[in-house]
Amino acid sequence: MTTIVLYSIQPMLSAGLEVTLAASEGFRLAAACTDLSQLVEEIPRRAATLVLIELTPDVTLQALKEIQAISRGVPIILWIDHVSTEFASQVIAAGVRGILRKTLSLEQHLDCFRKVAQGELGLEKGLSDELLSTQRVSLTPRERQVMGLVAQGLRNKEIAYSIGVTEGTIKVYLSRLFQKVGANDRLDLALFALRNMAASGTGETVAHRAPDQPKPKPLFITGFVSRPIERRLQ
């Protein structure tokens, strides 16, 4: 018997899932929680074998990591309306074992529950293909620091002064970063940093870049960049 503990802020969704599971052999909804603290309490209390979490503003990457740690190996499925490839990759790295769209059919829901309960990943083929085609770009802490300073609009001289290296060293870092992430110039690099950069569980920075990702259109990022970003190495 697969015992599911649910977190959802939508009572109708919870009621519908309960009715669906009651009519499906091998599944049982043990608890439906409306806040994350209640969910954390109910997982061990109900001896859950599967946790289903609706993606709400409260369900951050950090919250998922904490729930995964507290649940002690009970697999988690994220219940979503839509999700970006970057966020999907991050939550899987954080321990989530399934990503399930609410609009999928009943049979697809049950199939996902079965796969995850048996220790497999529960992902739609389209999302799985996107994740497999995404290149993982590992950056060192120093490269992350340089990229962040570029995103703030600092010039090479200012970056070099702030981290205590020479301008020549900064040019080397930038050339290496351009090659790693596929950026053509400083603007590309800054936009890549703001859109895709995330910290991995090991403390290393991991960013995600699709091989055929189109070049972003030039823009000004208000509230973050102190000056227009120059399209050159200098």
Radius of gyration of the chain (CA): 22
Sketch out the chain's domains with CATH numbers. Answer: 2-133 (3.40.50.2300), 135-209 (1.10.10.10)
* Mean pLDDT in consecutive groups of 10 residues from the start of the chain, 234 residues: 95 92 92 95 94 94 90 92 82 88 92 92 84 72 90 90 94 90 84 63 46 38 33 44
The residue length of the chain stands at 234
Alpha-carbon distances of 48 from 10, 43, 56, 134, rounded to whole Å: 21, 5, 21, 33
pLDDT for the residue 189: 86
pLDDT for the residue 207: 52
pLDDT for the residue 175: 92
